[in-house]
Chain A
Amino acid sequence: MDGKAVRLARPKMQQISRLIFHREILLVLFILLFGLLASSASPYFLNLENFKQVLIAISLDTVVAVGMTIVLVGGGIDLSVGSIIGFSAAMIAVSFESGNSIFVTILIALASGILVGAVNGVLISYININPIIATLGMMGIARSGSYIISGGYAFSNIPERFVAFATANPVGIPNIALVALISVGLFTILLSHNITLRKYFFIGGNEAAAYRAGIKVERFKLFSYIICGVFSALAAILLVSRMGSTFPHSGLGTEIRVISACIIGGCSINGGKGSVIGSFLGVLLLGLISNILVLLGVSVYWQGIASGIILILAVTSDALLNRRKY
């Protein structure tokens, strides 16, 4: 607003520094550096087969992270994703036990995710319950639901064709990883470029202004939880397909890992920031850390410490870059 001149050209240096400080680029560089160090620590790390195993291991968290990213960008949070996995997995078991076909069972699993997501969404959007409280409540309800439905037992009476899907390898990588990567690719583009999904950046950035701009905030928030429920149910389908059995505790702890990964990947806990590719890189980094610890024979109890340090480092770097002096 100062002066008459209109200068809209972007200096080259600004473009370069913005690119370097992009969270996704930083994460890729960090993962490459980590990979370099890890490969010198273990000869098995830099190996195509090992990388495939990492991809399979992180596939479920990756799928859940897609839905969680949309919720986080819209200014919400979903703590019930792990329980939705357990609930949907129990529904899959019950459906197969009842003699339903694979197609009907998949529909039932997805409907379970939609149901829990819709309850979350209604509580948060229309009754104005804090997302942490609402999804914490649903986390308990859905987990109990999975125990009640399954009677607390594991089921392994899963049709062969269903089990064969996750591990089948038609294009060089297992289907379970393929589904995860397709979800990441598709929703990376859609969340950042699709006019409808981009509205989550407005809602997460300034909910009141989004309402004044004519965005149907409540409806969009409701849909974000439904989408998250669907991705969690998809993770349950892939999990049962991969394991060939279901357990009432399936998905336990997923929410912590996925939320951590999304925040490492650039999502803001306050909403309005994040990308699906960033969240995927966050999941990948945590997966690689777990992998190297296993390869080095370090106790699994150390994995939580390692991922906790990465999470705190990521949030600290954000806080330092954006800190304000009062």
Chain B
Amino acid sequence: MAERKKILELKDISKSFGAVKALKKVDFELYENEVLALLGDNGAGKSTLIKIISGVYSCDEGDMEVYGKKVRFKNPQEARQMGIETIYQDLALFDNLDLMANVFAGREISGKGLPRWLGLADRKEMHRRSKAVLDQLEINIEDYRKDVKNFSGGQRQSIAIAKAVYWGHKIIIMDEPTAALGVRETESLFKLINDLRNRNVTLIVIMHNLDQVLRIAERAIILRRGKRVGHVDICEVGPSCQEEIVKMLM
């Protein structure tokens, strides 16, 4: 692991909400092109840490570096500009709109000439690009003009990922990505995560299912009551590290 490039580093991060100390001097590091699992029981501070990384919260103390550059995000847009995208459990999709609109939400492109002058969206081009990114990721959507409310949980998850990939985000944070998925859809998601790794995308996943963590993650960082209590190199130790992780979680 030593020769791998560190792309995200947090040092001594603390965050309090009133009297509650959600994070106490937590260190966190992410290496390029890895799948990192962030583990911990309820109230361990996983969500708070993720929200600091994605710009929803700013930390009270500590430093954060992205690609070697010291940053302190004021909002999610700043994190996104640095290539960090978070896919929350609710997926933040627009159920009333189709796939293309969801991929281009808030960033639609206009045509050339008069349409550009009138600020008209170039739907044809956006459809073409949406199809292209789905094609790249081998995501099967039968009728892509349907509103996304009509898609299955797995397809919706894929659309959220396709959106992140399309916009060139290199660090994707997935909060409980398998929570709403069936067995078959979970398998497809794991395949997609593997594909993303091959495309130089780095992933942070929050999961509770240890079997799933051992299958997809290379490393795991464990939090307990707002503190980092350890980390496990799953690739080196192998599946036998499950007991070690459980001990740290307890």
Contact = CB atoms under 8 A, between A and B. Distances in A.
B134 interface: yes
What interface size band does chain A fall in? 35 or more
B80 interface: yes
Contacts, number: 107
B194 interface: no
A323 interface: no
What interface size band does chain B fall in? 35 or more
A143 interface: no
B101 interface: yes
A168 interface: no
Given A208-B92, A212-B76, A195 B120 contact: yes
A263 B92 CA distance: 26
A7 B142 contact: yes
B180 to A, nearest CB: 13
Interface stretch (A113-121, A199-207, A312-320): A199-207
B188 A2 contact: yes
Contacts of A2: 140, 154, 184-185, 188
Interface in B132-147: 134-135, 138-145
B67 interface: no
Interface in B73-127: 76-77, 80, 90, 92-97, 101, 105-110, 118-121, 123
B105 A210 contact: yes
Nearest to B154: A1
B158 A209 contact: no
A99 interface: no
B105 A209 contact: yes
Contacts of A5: 140
What are the 6 tightest A-B residue pairs by CB atom distance, in nearest-first order?
Answer: A213-B106, A272-B96, A209-B92, A205-B96, A205-B94, A1-B188
20 contacts: A1-B192, A5-B140, A7-B141, A8-B144, A18-B145, A194-B121, A195-B121, A201-B94, A201-B96, A201-B101, A202-B97, A206-B94, A206-B95, A209-B90, A210-B105, A213-B105, A213-B106, A214-B107, A272-B96, A272-B97
Interface of A: 1-8, 10-11, 14, 18, 189-190, 193-196, 198-199, 201-202, 204-206, 208-210, 212-215, 268, 272-273
Given A7-B142, A8-B142, A205-B97, 11 more contacts: A1-B188, A2-B140, A2-B184, A8-B135, A194-B118, A194-B121, A202-B101, A205-B94, A210-B94, A213-B105, A215-B105
